[in-house]
């Protein structure tokens, strides 16, 4: 491991326009998804999902507790918790990705 | 114990690569391959060491808190010296949290030659690799 930042010769890179639609859901799409009883998965830690801790590093994500908040009475579809960084898993797996069967 | 990548039942099994895969592919001299491999360290800048030769790539817009624009992505890609044919391997901290973010941003711009290194920086370091 090193702290040296490598230098590579610069290139010219022509990219296509960003295409969000295949991968990204926007607010209204999430609303529609929730209203049709679609499933949401919350990958934050259990503490953050419960609202016991907010995210210190990312101020834009400092919204504690779970979604969908405003619509919970009308649509009691709480996001299911599937933390991406479970402590026990990190200890046993050195941060490796979870298998399909475990997920 | 966690099974090897290829026996974990992933649908897109080629996206996640092992530290061995990275070590093997990076030992090829860059000029010997028309499809070179580059590693990108996606962590908060300056917080930790990197594998030798690993680049910084934090593809998000600090002001608007959104994904990069096309021009910003092109400028990032040019700065780290890649072309659309370069295989980019992302690795990071905390179960590849930002590495996966970077992987998806590259998908938005059609850079499909992208991989994530299983275990990220932690596993690379624990294996005593450079």
What parts of chain A have a pLDDT lower than 50?
Answer: 60, 68-76
pLDDT at res. A84: 63
Residue B1 or B89, more confident? B89
Closest by CA to B123, choosing from B98, B93, B89, is B93
pLDDT at res. B79: 86
pLDDT for B55 beyond 60: no
HSE-up of residue B8 (Cα within 13 Å, Cβ side) = 21
Report the C-alpha gap between A86 and B112 in whole angstroms: 29
- DSSP strand pairing (B37-41 vs B66-67): unpaired
| Confidence bin at B53 (pLDDT 50/70/90) | low
pLDDT at res. B46: 46
Global pTM reads 0.78
pLDDT for B116 beyond 90: yes
Q: Note whether B101 and B76 are within 8 A (CB).
A: no
Q: Note whether B55 and B44 are within 8 A (CB).
A: no
| Sequence-separated contacts (24+) of B110-113 with Cβ below 8 Å | B110/A15, B110/A16, B110/A19, B110/B84, B111/A15, B111/B77, B111/B84, B113/B35, B113/B84, B113/B85, B113/B86, B113/B87, B113/B88
pLDDT at res. A64: 54
Using beta carbons and an 8 Å cutoff, which residues of A are at the interface with B?
A: 1-6, 8-20, 23-24, 57, 60, 84-85, 90, 92-97, 99-101
Report the C-alpha gap between B95 and B101 in whole angstroms: 12
CB pairs under 8 A between A and B: 119
Interface probe for A, chosen from B108, B115, B125 (most Cβ of A below 10 Å), is B108
pLDDT for B102 beyond 60: yes
Task: Determine whether the interchain pair B70/A16 forms a contact, defined as Cβ–Cβ distance below 8 Å.
Answer: yes
């Amino acid at each position: 491991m090193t702290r040296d930042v490598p230098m590579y010769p610069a290139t010219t890179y022509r990219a296509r326009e960003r295409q969000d639609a295949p991968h990204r859901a926007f607010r209204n799409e999430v609303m529609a998804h929730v209203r049709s009883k679609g499933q949401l998965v919350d990958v934050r830690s259990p503490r953050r999902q419960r609202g016991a801790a907010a995210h210190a590093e990312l101020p834009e994500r400092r919204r504690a507790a779970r979604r969908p908040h405003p619509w919970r009475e009308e649509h009691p579809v709480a996001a299911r918790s599937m933390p991406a960084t479970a402590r026990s898993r990190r200890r046993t797996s050195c941060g490796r990705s979870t298998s399909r069967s475990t997920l | 114990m966690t099974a090897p990548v290829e026996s974990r039942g992933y649908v897109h099994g080629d996206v996640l690569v092992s530290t061995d895969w990275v070590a093997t592919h990076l030992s090829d001299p860059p000029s010997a391959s028309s499809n070179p491999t580059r590693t990108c360290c996606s962590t908060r800048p300056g917080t930790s060491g990197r594998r030798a030769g690993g680049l910084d790539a934090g593809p998000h817009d600090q002001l608007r808190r959104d994904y990069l624009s096309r021009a910003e992505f092109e400028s990032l890609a040019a700065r780290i010296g890649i072309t659309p044919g370069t295989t980019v391997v992302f690795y990071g901290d905390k179960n590849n949290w930002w590495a996966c973010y970077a992987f998806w941003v590259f998908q938005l711009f059609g850079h499909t030659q992208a991989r994530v290194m299983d275990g990220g920086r932690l596993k690379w370091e624990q294996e005593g690799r450079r």
